[in-house]
Amino acid sequence: MSFAPTDTLYVALACYALGTLAALLSLFVPAKRLQDAGLVLMIAGFAAHTVWIGVICTRTGHPPITNLPEAAAFMAWVVFAVELALWIRYRVYAASFFVYPLVLLLLTISAVVGEQFATLNPQLRSNVFTAHLLLTTVGVAGLMIGVAFGLLAFIQDRALKEKRRGRMWDWIPSLNVCKTVSHRALAIGFSIYTIGLLAGILWSYRTTAGLMDLRVKQIGAVVAWVLFGVLLQRYIAGAYRSGKTVLLSAGAFVAVVVAILGIAR
Amino acid sequence: MKTLLLVGLNHRTAPVDVRERLNIADAKLGETTNALRALDGVDGAAVLSTCNRVEAIVSTRDEDVIETVVEWLASNASTHRGELEKHLYILRHGDVVKHLFRVASGLDSMIVGEPQIGGQVKKAFLTAYELGTLDAILMQVYEQTQRVSKRVRTDTGIGEHAVSVPYAAVELAKKIFGRLRGLQVLLLGAGDMGELTAEHLHEQDVKQVFVANRSFERATELAQRFDGAAVQFDRIDEQLANCDIVIASTAAPHYLVDTHHVERALDTRKRRHLFLIDLAVPRNINPAVARIDGAYLYNIDDLQQVADANQGLRQQKAREAEQIVVREVEEFGKRLVAQDAVPTILELQQRLESIRAAELEKCLRKLGPMTPEQREAVEQFSTQMVNKILHYPILQLKEATDEPQERESLRRTIRKIFGLR
């Protein structure tokens, strides 16, 4: 039995699926071992995922961000890398309830949609285009983390105000940590995303003599940019506690997903 | 062959007037441990003394040493043996191990899961180790006790939730601010509970504690205790904006902190969180403050509810911890039994090996010249036969009960059957 390089994708998916399941189960069975098992599985998945990203780069000879499967796989990789860094710094378990399913979802999209080793259109071989893809992908990953921690801050604030512990009480770090991480992730993610979009507009102008086409991914990306901008402003004003902010986060998340799915078209 | 014994009393078996007579001051722990070790028949000794328990832990070859230890404890307490015996418990073998695992994990404490006892057990054994009164078996018990205690606390998180009002306040402050280092605290009034809460916060390395009281002298006196500063009572409003945590426990019959105070303070603080703890009855902080974004208000009942809920949680975790302890005791017992059986097993193997070698030699002489293959087959046959004969006796020795007398009886029988000295 031989092990094909593409198998690493499925190993990563299996580990992520089991890790997500273990993390979600810990909502009902509050055992630290279950959370730890989930984290170990996710790290194993991340290792396989890293190999998979390497395989894409080696096979195609370009960064893994030029089509939907590549971009989704790379975004999932960045999101988990950031989550892992935050776990090491703050020991935040609760983010796993949002981040693990998100990573699993993105990698699943990568596995089931489109050609995994598509050759790159020569027209797309440009530094500006690569910068556009890289920056928007990393920016979106940061924004996703920001939204996840914003939700944690919202849940924690409600629990403290209503003096009721939910299932996540023990897993969520302090309100200050949630707020600080969400602010920073949103601010950094938004800045990178903005530069990425500008690079895309520049590339579009150079190649098509227009600022941009108005297709699904472009509309999704711009709507997401506006919503994340408003969201960041609300966080700076301390409005993360309001229900409207949560709705806005959901809207921004949907717009990003639409933009990602739009890459396939 | 050595066995473990533990003689002691605790908060459940003895009233405080008995416990205080036996209690050993830190400075005398070494001397007392040496005295216990010096008793006739004691091979290894350690003494655990806390405000809730005094226990003498010994390893010995003679169980009758219990009598001597009880006498020794009675003389230490300057009381009659009969009087003391009513309060004592005596544990043997596996029960000693289980008891120590439970004690170090906080399962036998007055407040289940309290963390201090782990350190006290460690101190008792380390003192004994430094004095050289720990023998091999007690050393193993100590090491395993440390491991089990750590595992119980890590796996169940039994000590993580506060079960008193002041600690519940500290726990909530951590849920809001994370680390408390660098925060400023304002204590209004000099009520006992408020003082205790401020003390716990002070232990968490807060930057400064400000104290405001109707009597400025009393405020200054309290502030000195926390290395803080006294504040004039009519300047509370200004001080609110500088502080992250406010503890109110005055006897004032009206609200001292109202919504407009908190609104103003939060505006100055650029909406940084403000945690308000109202321990006073009648209340000192307007309950409407709880509705302001960024302000978290808990009164004495809220904190008591948190403490009660945590108590329930600890009980639940204690049940998980008990299961861990039972499993660990079983495994440790098996390991001790297997270790204990090693000398007999080795002797048994040597004895049968010497018989095998002698008989094989005779047999080979009788059989005359043989090819190397034939000789190897005969040797293999004799080795396999000896191994098969030894299989069950060795298994029995390894899996024997952890009750030393029964184990000794089994060992004697096997030695007798196989003619070991």
Q: Where are the alpha helices (DSSP H) in A92-215?
A: 96-112, 127-162, 175-208
Average pLDDT over residues B360-369: 88
Measure the CA–CA gap between B176 and A177, rounded to whole angstroms: 9
Q: Check pLDDT > 80 for residue B259.
A: yes
**pLDDT, chain B, mean:** 90
Q: Which amino acid is at B371?
A: T
The pair phi, psi for residue B7, each rounded to 5°, is -120, 130
**What 3-state class would DSSP assign to B43?**
strand
pLDDT at B297: 95
Q: CA nearest B151 in A: which residue? A: A33
Peptide bond into B166 cis (omega under 30): no
pLDDT at residue A216, as a whole number: 72
Quick one: pLDDT at residue B245? 95
- Give B361→chain A minimum CA distance, Å: 53
Contacts with B177 from chain A: Cβ below 8 Å: 174-176
Q: Is the torsion defined by CA of A244, A247, A252, A253 positive or negative?
A: positive
* Residues of B known to be catalytic: 51
Q: Catalogue the long-range contacts made by A237-242 (C-beta closer than 8 Å, 24 or more residues apart).
A: A238/B271, A238/B293, A238/B294, A240/A150, A240/A153, A240/A154, A240/A157, A240/A179, A240/A182, A241/A153, A241/A154, A241/A157, A241/A158, A241/B293
Which residue among A33, A160, A238 sits closest to B296, beta carbon to beta carbon?
A160
Q: What is the pLDDT of residue A2?
A: 59
Top mean pLDDT of A173-177, B81-85, B143-147 is at B143-147
Q: How many CA atoms lie within 13 A of B162 on its CB side?
A: 19
Lowest pLDDT segment from A122-126, A203-207, B262-266, B337-341 = A122-126
Q: How far apart are CA B235 and CA B101, in angstroms?
A: 53
In chain B, pLDDT over 90 holds for what percent of residues? 50
Q: CB contact, 8 Å: A36 with chain B?
A: no
| Of residues B65 and A172, more confidently modeled | B65
C-alpha distance from A99 to closest chain B C-alpha (Å):
21
What's the gap in Å between the CA of B290 and the closest CA on chain A?
A: 7
Interface A-B: count of C-beta contacts within 8 A: 38
Closest Cβ opposite residue A173 in set B178, B294, B302:
B178
Q: What is the ipTM of this complex?
A: 0.75
Structure token digits, residue B126: 């380390």
pTM of the model: 0.70
Q: What is the mean pLDDT of residues B84-112?
A: 93
Tokens coding B220 = 């200054």
CA gap B328, B339 in Å, rounded: 16
pLDDT (tens, 9 = 90+) of chain A, 265 residues, equals: 556 667 888 899 999 999 999 988 887 876 778 888 899 999 999 999 999 888 888 887 777 777 778 888 888 898 899 888 888 887 777 778 888 998 999 899 888 876 666 666 666 677 888 888 888 888 888 888 888 888 888 889 999 999 888 777 878 888 988 888 888 888 999 999 999 989 988 888 877 656 556 677 778 888 888 988 888 888 877 777 777 888 888 888 888 878 777 665 5
